[in-house]
């Protein structure tokens, strides 16, 4: 009887009832018939992205949080300009705050080359400093309405390597071909028009022809929502796990609801493993995250710290088969105040690849023990509490 119950539970993600509940709770858009490709590092992602820009026939729609004026940014700009020159409609939406360090001349040059550029949430002082809190944290590109690239990677040299140094960070991306791309196209147009972007041609949102057999759900989040669909995505997936939960995240400031979800999973015998950064590009968030670790460690949850580089990947794997990749972190900003997008994949082969990648990251990580964590100095504990008290603003 217990074996049958376990088998039924292990198949929860493949039941129509779960899909209906998940879609209703997270407002996810479900699409079958997709082909997927996992890019385990930025060094694999960017050559494929540049090739896809070169191959585009009709349109390229891009939405990025950060675009840097470095070598990677220049290669990116040259590829977009070349696409525009051969008649491809290229539209680029970039976050004003995320690109604050990027010279305005970078985007003016793109405009001169025929790329339509639009900043997301440029400063408007009618609302005081409130405009600072609205960010478009998404990172995705849609090609010809039929293929898309997305993940945690911004456009910059630090994202373009294989996680081998402090200058080349650890990050992950993916490619989707098939009907699911239409939802990403819709999200782009919503953002583009919401920021005052003009439309000069008919918007085509018809789903592309099936390209594979992978089932995909798209979950988007933003401050306009009455509840966090991104957080609901994470919580429902964790609640459905019967064997394992693996999480890779650079910024872990989860709040009490996610902590309770992880504790419940561990309490029913699920193996929970978290890979967090040992070196962070935002040190205050690393301090804030430590304030949430004690109850997790006491519950037997395995917490690892990725060594050698800055961790920027955002991945969750449930029972070795259900994977989430996207722009959202496990923090309150991603849950409530950023515009984010995650892709949830129900595909055994893709899950196997993510599982292999997760195992590789574990091999490059050092496990944090409860004993070590409790030996922190009073100064470190005070710094953690002060940082955690600011977590809503981080």
CATH code at 81?
A: 3.30.870.10
Q: What is the pLDDT of residue 25?
A: 85
Residue 260 lies in domain: 2-195+204-393
SS3 category, 343: strand
Q: Is 137 a known active-site residue?
A: yes
Could you tell me the CA-to-CA distances from 219 to 12, 22, 29, 93, 344 in Å, in that order?
19, 10, 7, 19, 8
Distance CA 283, CA 278 (A): 10
Distance CA 247, CA 236 (A): 14
Give the number of domains in the chain: 1
Q: Is 101 a known active-site residue?
A: no
pLDDT per residue rounded down to tens, the chain (394 residues): 233 333 434 455 666 677 778 878 888 899 999 999 999 999 999 999 999 999 999 999 999 999 999 999 999 999 999 999 999 999 999 999 999 999 999 999 999 999 999 999 998 766 666 677 889 999 999 999 999 999 999 999 999 999 989 999 999 999 999 999 999 999 999 999 999 998 866 666 788 999 999 999 999 999 888 789 999 999 999 998 999 999 999 999 999 999 999 999 999 999 999 999 999 998 888 888 888 999 999 999 999 999 999 999 999 999 998 999 999 999 999 999 999 999 999 888 999 999 999 999 999 999 999 999 899 888 888 887 787 777 666 6
Catalytic position from the list 95, 136, 177, 319: 319
Catalytic position from the list 95, 134, 312, 346: 312
Q: Is 312 a known active-site residue?
A: yes
Q: Is 319 a known active-site residue?
A: yes
Q: Is 134 a known active-site residue?
A: no
If one counts every other C-beta atom within 10 angstroms of the C-beta of residue 292, the result is 20
Residue written as token pair 């796990």 = 241
Catalytic position from the list 314, 331, 347, 361: 314
Opening angle at CA 389, ends 387 and 391, nearest 5: 70
Distance CA 340, CA 39 (A): 20
Q: What is the pLDDT of residue 129?
A: 65
- 378: enclosing H helix or E strand: helix 378-389
């Amino acid at each position: 009887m217990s074996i049958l119950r376990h088998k039924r539970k292990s198949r929860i993600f493949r039941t129509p009832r779960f899909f209906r509940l998940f879609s209703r709770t997270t407002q996810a858009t479900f699409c079958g018939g997709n082909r997927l490709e996992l890019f385990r590092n930025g060094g694999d992602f960017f050559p494929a992205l540049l090739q896809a820009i070169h191959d585009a026939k009709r349109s390229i729609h891009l939405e990025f949080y950060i675009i840097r004026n470095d070598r990677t940014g220049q290669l990116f700009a040259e590829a977009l300009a070349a696409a525009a020159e051969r008649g491809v409609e290229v539209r680029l939406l970039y976050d004003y705050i995320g690109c604050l360090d990027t010279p305005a001349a970078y985007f003016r040059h793109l405009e001169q080359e025929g790329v339509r550029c639009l900043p997301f949430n440029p400063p408007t002082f009618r609302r005081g400093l409130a405009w600072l809190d609205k960010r478009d944290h998404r990172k995705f590109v849609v090609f010809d309405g039929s293929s898309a690239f997305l993940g945690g990677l911004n456009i910059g040299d630090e994202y373009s390597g294989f996680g081998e140094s402090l200058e080349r960070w650890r990050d992950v991306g993916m490619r989707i071909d098939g009907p699911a791309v239409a939802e990403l196209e819709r999200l782009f147009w919503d953002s583009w028009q919401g920021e005052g972007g003009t439309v000069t041609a008919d918007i085509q949102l018809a789903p592309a022809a099936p390209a594979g057999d992978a089932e995909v759900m798209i979950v988007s989040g933003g401050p306009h929502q009455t509840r966090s669909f991104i957080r609901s995505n994470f919580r429902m997936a964790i609640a459905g796990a019967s064997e394992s939960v693996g999480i890779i995240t650079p910024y872990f400031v989860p709040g009490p609801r996610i902590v309770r979800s992880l504790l419940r999973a561990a309490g029913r015998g699920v193996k929970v493993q978290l890979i967090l950064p040992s070196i962070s590009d935002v040190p205050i968030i690393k301090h804030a995250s430590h304030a949430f670790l004690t109850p997790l460690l006491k519950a037997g949850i395995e917490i690892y710290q990725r060594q050698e580089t800055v961790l920027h990947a955002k991945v969750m794997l449930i029972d070795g088969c259900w994977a989430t990749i996207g722009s959202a972190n496990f923090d309150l900003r991603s849950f409530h105040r950023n515009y984010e997008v995650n892709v949830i994949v129900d595909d055994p082969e893709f899950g196997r690849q993510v599982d292999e990648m997760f195992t590789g990251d574990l091999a490059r990580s050092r496990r944090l023990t409860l004993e070590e964590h409790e030996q922190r100095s009073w100064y470190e504990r005070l710094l953690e509490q002060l940082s955690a008290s600011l977590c809503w603003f981080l």
